Amino acid sequence: MPESITAGRQFETDYINVRLKENRVYTDAEVAELPKINTQHPHYKEWQIRRTSFKRLFSYLAAMPKALNILEIGCGNGWLSNSLAQLPNSTVAGSDINLNELQQAARVFKNTPNLRFFYIDDYKKIPGQERFDMILFAASIQYFPSIKQILNSCLPLLNTDGEIHISDTHIYRPSQVTAAKQRTYDYYNILGCTEMSGYYYHHTWDEFDSFNMTVLYNPGSLLQKLKGNSSPFPWMRVKNNT
């Protein structure tokens, strides 16, 4: 068995174990309704944040004057890929290293004709050398050890004027990383799953310095604070250098 597949299956086992303990493994019926969820669910507030960030992204993409071919990297159970497939004339591909969730996504959203899912662990090898108008990392970039490596793998996959979007992930100042790593370790230690801390990477703003990056939403800006927006996550766009 290839080493990458073996590593992927170990990650999947550890990841699902944690998600079960966190009460983040959802039934097919629940996945079909996401980001809507019962108000009594323990992660209801979190899903309100995800719903807000999705609406912001959907409005941004809906304003584009062309049909879009979209790739979501780290799509999990597929709810966001399916939601983006509601964009008129769009085609969406959801990818993940987690076979369990990919199978659920394919099962739940099998009737969405412009949506497909596939397993991949090397984004230099997209099937058929396909090109995309938008590549999305939503709550997933933290599982990639190198920003430089993953973005440099994905930028060649973009069409002309294509964009990479990153959302729903904390980005840190260098001075914040040590404390953030300790919080992550402590959190997984309490769950009895310290191995998961080895999969979680705390990326910093300076890792984007060599890229053509724009911050579309900054939760720390004075404007957003005055608006009272509750999302703690930035929304970032990366384009090829021109």
pLDDT of residue 229: 58
Please measure the distance between the N-terminal and C-terminal CA atoms of the chain and give it in whole angstroms.
Answer: 41
Distance CA 129, CA 49 (A): 34
**How does pLDDT run across 176-232, given as a tens digit for each residue?**
999 999 999 999 999 999 999 999 999 999 999 999 999 999 887 655 554 555 678
The residue written with tokens 């801390």 in the block is: 197
**How confident is residue 3, by pLDDT bands cut at 50, 70 and 90?**
very low
Asked whether the predicted pLDDT for residue 5 surpasses 50, the reply is no
- DSSP line for 120-140: -S-TT--GGG--EEEEEEES-
Number of residues assigned to the chain: 242
pLDDT band at 69 (very low <50, low <70, confident <90, very high): very high
Q: 20 pLDDT band (50/70/90 cuts)?
A: very high
What domains, with CATH codes, occur in the chain?
Answer: 3-173+203-239 (3.40.50.150)
Contacts of 82 (CB under 8 A, 6+ apart): 92, 105, 108, 109, 112, 115
What's the pTM value of the predicted model, to 2 decimals?
Answer: 0.91
Beta bridge partners, 172, equal 204
